[in-house]
Structures are given as structure tokens and as C-alpha cells.
Amino acid sequence: MFDFDALSRAIARRTVLCVGDLMLDEFVYGEVSRISPEAPAPVIAVQRSETNIGGAGNVARNIASLGARCIFVGLVGEDEEGAKLKAALSKEALIESILVCDPKRPTTKKVRFVSEHFSTHMLRADWELAVPAADDVEQELIDSILPLVPRADIVLLSDYAKGVLTPRVIRSVIDAARKLGKSVIVDPKSVNFAMYRGATLLTPNRKEFAEATRSRAETSDSIAEAARDAMQLADCEAMLVTQSEQGMTLVPRNGEAVHVPAHPVKVRDVSGAGDTVAAVVAATLAAGAEWETALRMANAAAAVAVSKKGTAVVSPAELRRKILPPASLAAEEKIIAAGISLDPFLSDWRRQGLRIGFTNGCFDILHPGHVKVLTAARGACDRLIVGLNSDASVKRLKGSGRPVQDEGARAEVLAALEAVDLVVIFEEDTPVKLIGEIRPSALVKGGDYTREQVVGHEIVEAIGGQVLLVEVLPGFSTTSLVNRARGGKA
């Protein structure tokens, strides 16, 4: 297993140059309950619609969602759809977009009509001119792209066969990238893989691969066999074949093929899943990852993408939850940053009739006295929330030499305890605001406090809750441990 967090940090330091066919995706959601009296066609009662940046633009959005910078080059028409895409891309902080305008063609637009209840696509309507860019526009694209290649760590070509990636544009970009030692990833549309000759990696889906190689591509072994010849033709280093519910097969030119099964997931919408795969592969390889790591990252990202409606992006947090085993996530998923609403947890627990308990502290160095209080607190409730003072709060309360451990480390240690269900970081000096939000049935503190000294006791008692004081273990305090460690008196 690779170090996901280290890889994510490396991705955030990389820049991907993405070139391809931009389009506007619109999804019209509604219910189908009757057949039209005018023709044997279903009538969809529209409930809502949404528009997204689609095509290669969705690749760019996924790159940015992972934390990498993306330089994006695309083509739009001089129309309302083109204006919408320009405006939408301008709001993406990590995307630098260079959009060439061709007033002689419409901006590509796809409208999908979807049954809300069944999540089924009923119809798709396309507005497009799927012909290669005119010579002058083609030259403008090349002139826009080539100066950007030196700024990128990797180049990604997203081909939807809508006119941007002409043979001349493809050849110019691949040659420029290879001259500078940059890898080129291609999500191909043409069945003539020789068009992408010199690219580092091709990522066709099974249908595209079968048509290009004239093979059935039914098993990972047959894919590997056909890919060997295809790689010779395309002069590429590897080929990644996506196979929907059957997973993905990576075939390196020098090495054994690797197949990974798809993650089990409820598929809501496959729109843009290939965009997500290409984006994740490019960002991961740009960060210096091995082939198999890129494969596993892409496979997990695809599972996240298809579980969402519409043209979706995948965040590092979603990807992390899909990749890492549950035991690795158990602690961190208990941690709630300051300012994040607890309503989803509180509502769910109350709906189940569970008693919610609360205790708080700095927990700078966790010791047996803390453990005793936490264990007793959990025994007094069904779900225990621990309020944790932020670093700034601890410094104000304990002095400039504290905390010894930052809030992330303190929260992680607390969250690893079985007795703790949630750790909530708060910025204030006292947790009174947090207690008011939680309204716990039990408020627990160490016996070195009196009931009147326990912050929030009035709130809890006013709703019929209990304030419980747990006898402290003698000889244990964080202050004495810190002093002892620093050579002072305990």
C-alpha cells in the first residue's frame, strides 16, 4: 500500500497541461409517469436542471479537485454556451484557462434528460460541429499550447473528436513534450492509435480498445495480448483499458499486465467517469507515482465518480476513503474541525434514541487520568463527544509553551480510543457554545471540579441532563508530565 497522504501532498505541487474538447453539460431531471398522446414517447415532468463544465473541461475540474494546478486549453464558439463556460472556468481557482474562440462553430453542448426516481438517462440531445478545426483556428490552438508545455509537469490530451485535437495539434504537442522530457497521457477517441504515436500512456475504454485493436477484449489476458501490438503501433510506454464494472487493466510495455477489479458501488451516473480516470492518472504520474499506484488511484476515483449524479469531480477526501482500509479511517473520521456543523451526527443519534454525552479538555499529553474520565463518560451515555481546545485556545489558557502537541495530533490520539465517538475542536476558551449546540444528556468532568465550576452545567441541567464528576487518579496531570519532561519539578 502506498502512502496516500504523501502522494496527495506531491500532487498539490504539480501542474497538468490539459488540452481537449470542451463542452457544456446540462442535466434535466424529472419524473416520467405517462406516454405522450402525440407519439409513443415518454413525457418527462421537469423538476430541475443543472449545468456543468463537461468534456475535457471536466478533466480539468477533476485535476483541480485533487489539488493540482491545471492549465487548460480548449475551443468555444461565439455564443451563450461559450460565455457560460468561460465564466464557470474563471471561478475555478486552480484552473488557468486559455479558450480559443471560433465564431464559425457552436460551443459543444449536451443535454441529458434523466428520470429522477430511477436515475435513468431517457434521452440525450447534442449541439455540436464534430469536424476538425479550420486551419487558422488549428494554428491558433498550436500557438496557444506550445508556450505552455514548459510550465507543466505532465501533458494530458482529452480527445472527444469534436475538432480540437487534430492530427497536427496532437503531433505538435506530443513532439514538444517529448523534446522537454514530459510525459503525455492521452484519453483517445480515434480508433487509429498511431495518431497518438509517442504518447506515454493511452487510456481507452474497452469499446474504443476493441475497435482500435480489432479484438474482442473480453478478458484481461486477451486485452494484454492485443495491447502489446497496439503499443508497438503507438510507440507508447503503457496502455490502461477501462472496463466499467469489470475494473481496469494496465499493460506496461516492459512488464506484466496488472488487472484490478472495480470497487463495489451503486452506479448512479457514468457520465464523465473516463474524465475522472484520465485526470487522476495524469496527476498521480506527475507526482512521481508508479504505474500500479496510478492504476489503483484511478480505479478508486472512478468508483466515486459513478456513485454521483451528473458530471462529477472527486475530492482527495473521497478518494482517501475509497482507497484506505476502514481501520485506517476509523480514527480520522471521528474528528470534526472547528466550525463544522454536528447536525448530521446529532440528528441521526437522536432519531435512534441514543443518549449523547460530552466532556472536554486540552488533552495535551494523554495519560491514565484522562483515560479514566473518558471511559467513565462513555459509560454514562450511548455516544460520547469530546470537545478539544484548539492550539490557540490552549496557548491562551496554559501559556506560550503549550500545547506540546498540535491539535491534529491530540485529536488523532483521542479519536483512536474506542470510548470516543467524536472529537470536536473548538476555538473558544470554554466549550459553552459547543455544549449549547450539542445539548448533551450527560456532561462529564474530573472530580477536581465542583458542579458549579463545570462549564455548561446550567445548559445541561435545564434540559434534564446530568453533570457527572469522575474521581481523578492521583499523580497524573499533563502539567506535571510536561515539567518532568523539561527537567523541572513535577
Q: Which residues are catalytic?
A: 275
Report whether the peptide linkage leading into residue 403 is cis, meaning its omega lies within 30 degrees of zero: yes
CB 66 within 8 A of CB 279: yes
Q: Of the candidates 180, 50, 166, which has an alpha carbon nearest to the alpha carbon of residue 100?
A: 166
Q: Which three cell numbers stand for residue 486?
A: 523539561
Our measurement of the distance from residue 429's CA atom to the centroid of its chain's CA atoms, rounded to an integer in Å, reads 34
In sequence order, what DSSP letters do the residues of 176-242 get, joined into one string?
HHHHTT-EEEEE---S-GGGGTT-SEE--BHHHHHHHHTS---SHHHHHHHHHHHHHHHT-SEEEEE
Distance (Å, rounded) from C-alpha 70 to C-alpha 4?
Answer: 21
Q: Kindly report the CA angle at 150 between 147 and 153, in degrees rounded to 5?
A: 135
Unique residue bearing C-alpha cell 479550420: 134
Distance (Å, rounded) from C-alpha 4 to C-alpha 318?
Answer: 12
CB 78 within 8 A of CB 107: no
Determine the 3-state secondary structure of 103 from DSSP: coil
Distance (Å, rounded) from C-alpha 444 to C-alpha 373?
Answer: 8
Using a 10 angstrom Cβ sphere, with 0-12 exposed, 13-18 middle and 19 or more buried, the burial of residue 225 is middle
Q: Which three cell numbers stand for residue 65?
A: 479537485
How far apart, in Å, are the Cα atoms of 257 and each of 19, 81, 239, 301? 28, 42, 10, 20
Instruction: List 121's β-bridge partners, or say none.
Output: 114
Question: What b-and-e string marks burial along 250-288, b requiring 16 or more CB atoms within 10 Å of the CB?
Answer: bbbeeeebbbbebbeeeeebebbbbbbbbbbbbbbbbbe
Do the bridges between strand 109-115 and strand 120-127 make them parallel or antiparallel, or are there none, so unpaired? antiparallel
How far apart, in Å, are the Cα atoms of 167 and each of 108, 133, 278, 377? 20, 11, 20, 68
